[in-house]
Amino acid sequence: MEITKTQEVLQKIITKAWEDEAFKKELIENPVNAIEELTGEKINLPEGKTIVVKDQTDASVVFINLPTEPSLESMELNEEQLEAVAGGYFPWGSFIPKEIIDFFI
């Protein structure tokens, strides 16, 4: 499976935060600035959207992130997802909102 640019950037951010405590602190306090400095690219964040970074490195705590409920009107499906829906099954866990993908592109 091919790694997307979004996955590549996220891995770079996570790895840097694991290795550099100062970067992790800046990432939590000012994520847009920290990511832009790390990648050298401006983040294309849609108006009204923010990035929140929570430190979830404590192995003794189980974290659960509740995603936004997907809007069927704004959902874009690829061919594989369209075939799955046509067959009566949709893998909700594989859905990533377009806004999240777009700000890394």
Q: What is the pLDDT of residues 32-58, one digit of tens each?
A: 999 999 999 998 889 999 999 999 999
The domain segmentation of the chain, as residue ranges, is 5-102
Q: What is the pLDDT of residues 51-99, one digit of tens each?
A: 999 999 999 999 888 888 877 676 677 777 777 666 655 454 455 555 5
Q: Could you give the 3-state DSSP secondary structure of residue 91?
A: coil
Q: pTM score, two decimals?
A: 0.63
Q: Which residues contact 12 (CB under 8 A, 6 or more apart)?
A: 38, 39
